[in-house]
Structure 1
Amino acid sequence: MTYCVGLKIDRGLVFMSDTRTNAGIDAISTFRKMHVWEKKGDRVIVLMAAGNLATTQAVVSLLEERSKAMAERAPTIMEAPSMYQTARLVGDTVKEVIATHADEGERADSYFNASFVLGGQIAGSDTRLFQIYPEGNFIECSEDTPFFQIGETKYGKPIIVRAYDSDMSFAETAKLLMVSFDSTLKSNLSVGLPLDMMFYEKDALEVGFTKRIALDDPYYRKISEGWSDALKNAFKSLPDFVEE
């Protein structure tokens, strides 16, 4: 399992993903789930993946390979004229990978399940954010749904829904997502550190601030401990139940 979040604010896009792929007493693996393509002045594209590791890696590998051999397949992720066309390209690649490896009649949402969050900007258009499903179809974020989650979503969603504001700064958004991830980490062993975080500033057309957050990161530890204390204090401040 995994947990990835892509969130759109007025200032741009914020991405965060964990790195755990297996969880158990003696079976913990770490793989990067955030992948970035950049051509300064032209485009920045970020793709986060959740689901079957072999499927997600095959999708990313095909996209990367074709971006370096453009004559063999056009348009590639580095040539697509819009983020919408990029989302279609990723969706088609997902369908291609699953069709290649699945037995006849096997469903995309079975063993080969994989989902993606795609975001970024191409010169001449706005920042856009999509969620791509195992079947290859996708939806785009809106004012009503300004963020997408994939993987283990239920534990980290409430804080985002309650605290999100479109005019948040990147620093405030990072704090919000760290609380969301900390809540998920404490509730599910299949999500784990380190975390990858990236800011993309609208119209910059180059990768912004990036950071890998480990267990010993002082800010993460401060957020984790502070959030736990804040919840305890909030609980204690609520009125006690009175039997009538």
Structure 2
Amino acid sequence: MGMNLTTRHLSAGYGNKTVVSDIHIHISTGEVVCLLGANGCGKTTLFKALLGLIPMQGEFLLDGRPHHSYTQRDRARLIAYVPQTHTPSFPYTVLDMVLMGRSPHISLYSVPSGRDHEESRRILSSLGIRYLENRLYDELSGGERQLVLMARSLAQTPRFLLMDEPTSHLDFGNQIRTLQLIKELAASGIGLLLTTHSPDHAFICATRVLAMHQGKIISQGSPEEVINRPLMRTLYGFDIDVVSQPSGRYLCSPVL
């Protein structure tokens, strides 16, 4: 059954400073929404508001219900987060890291059950990294760590996944692998909101694009509708041509 994540007139910031304002977004399970914008435009602040890490004003609805009507445990079963990087305080194994994602499904003072271990291993297998389960997380490569963080988030069995620059720090091959995985997750029924500094990635995997500038969403629609030279100039301060390829896909090419 489908589910929606909706905000209306959402504003958030720190102390008396408003960083994002009047944010209207609508994400359905099964779609990929790509959030574009320069550093400092408010993307991370928006994520923090959606994750309940900072106060917000306005409406934030999950399947038509106000977000505050859900318990923290229930929200963690609905929304998961994949950060750019993560440095654990202790030398956890990969399996331990993924088991942490099962926390919303484990009672207080309980320990992970056999079923939790089985589900965690199943997710590792689905991502092709089951062989890493006994390795220490802090000894892995950047690409391997990113996949483990995805596995941990998927262990929450979320309906929505927020991904903060999931291809940053990855080599070209791992970028492609991650974009393929994003498309597969959407096909499985998860709704994804991801940030990226590569507009080309939106053409590859996104169903819709949100363009953020100075804390506001200034354009949204399909990648082909939204990503154009004037918008790229507004977002990034440079002229960037959007070039059609024989395959039908578009590429962004800086005018240097």
Give the TM-score taking structure 2 as reference length: 0.28
Give the TM-score taking structure 1 as reference length: 0.29
